[in-house]
Amino acid sequence: MGMEQKGKIIISEEEIQGKVRELAGQISKDYEGLNPIIITVLRGAVYFMVDLTRYLTIPHRIDFLAISSYGPAAQTGGVRITKDLDLDIHDEHVLILEDIVDTGLTLHYLLRILKERGPASIKICTFLDRAAQRIADLHIDYRGFEVGEAFVVGYGLDRDEKFRNLQYIMAVEE
Ligand code: IMP
Ligand code: MG
């Protein structure tokens, strides 16, 4: 039950920070003059958000929401907002940050809920993308890295609430 975890580092701290700066540069360019609301899905994406926003060169606001799926999302196909946004996103430009998109079902349902509030635009930025697992038809606007099948931890991603604070991404041996 220590901090040790068997696995292989697949993305280093240097690679992560380089990519986060690159994404922040692109987002700063694309959202020039739009004063976007950056929405972070709790809790894994918090680490990514903190680094990303520090490199943004444009005015923006941040907000948070938490969701839980009704059982396995793949079977029941629904998410519930357990902590809602504080900001009103009507007529606002919204960018959602996620730690990893796997089946895409979570974000698919979240998008449906948020679109009903009438944002001016809504885009997705995910730190990791496991596209081979995708079930939902979801357009990813910004992605950090593509990952394979193996479960990953670190940089916000957990296994049983552990390992979020690793500076790198590690593929875990189950
Ligand atoms: P999905 O896209 O609806 O299948 O679910 C994505 C969510 O599952 C992410 O936001 C993570 O919370 C979790 N998740 C999926 N794959 C991993 C992984 O490899 N490590 C840690 N969490 C994961
Ligand atoms: Mg998550």
| Tens digit of each residue's pLDDT (9 = 90 or more) over 57-97 | 999 999 999 998 665 555 556 788 999 999 999 999 999 99
Beta carbons of 96 and 113 less than 8 angstroms apart: no
CA distance 19 to 171: 19
Residues 6+ apart with CB under 8 A from 172: 5, 6, 7, 150, 151, 152, 153, 159
Please measure the distance between the N-terminal and C-terminal CA atoms of the chain and give it in whole angstroms. 15
Q: Which of 102, 139, 143 to mutate to test the pocket of ligand 1 (most atoms within 8 A of CB)?
A: 102
What's the distance, CA 61 to chain centroid?
16
**Ligand 1 centroid to residue 17 C-alpha, Å:** 21
- pLDDT score of 65: 97
- pLDDT score of 1: 47
Burial-class residue 146 by CB neighbours within 10 Å (0-12, 13-18, 19+).
exposed
- pLDDT score of 123: 98
Pocket of ligand 1 (CB under 6 A): 44, 73, 98-106, 151-152, 157
Which ligand sits closest to the CA of 66? 2
Residue having the nearest C-alpha atom to atom 10 of ligand 1: 100
pTM of the model: 0.94
Residue having the nearest C-alpha atom to atom 19 of ligand 1: 151
- pLDDT score of 79: 83
CA distance 55 to 77: 35
| DSSP assignment string, 100-148 | EESSSHHHHHHHHHHHTT--SEEEEEEEEE-GGG--S----SEEEEE--
Beta carbons of 172 and 151 less than 8 angstroms apart: yes
**Ligand 2 centroid to residue 42 C-alpha, Å:** 7
Catalytic option among 51, 99, 102, 129:
102
Q: Which of 61, 24, 49 is nearest to 99 (CA)?
A: 49
Residue 98 host element (H or E): strand 93-101
Compute the mean pLDDT over every residue in the chain, rounded to the nearest whole number. 93
Cis geometry, peptide bond prior to residue 21 (ω within 30 degrees of 0): no
102 is catalytic: yes
Which ligand sits closest to the CA of 105? 1
Question: How high is the mean pLDDT in each 10-residue block of the chain (174 residues)?
Answer: 75 98 98 98 97 98 89 64 97 98 94 97 98 95 97 97 97 86
- pLDDT score of 19: 98
Cα angle: 135, vertex 139, 143; to 5 degrees: 100
**Residue ranges of domains in the chain, CATH in brackets:** 33-150 (3.40.50.2020)
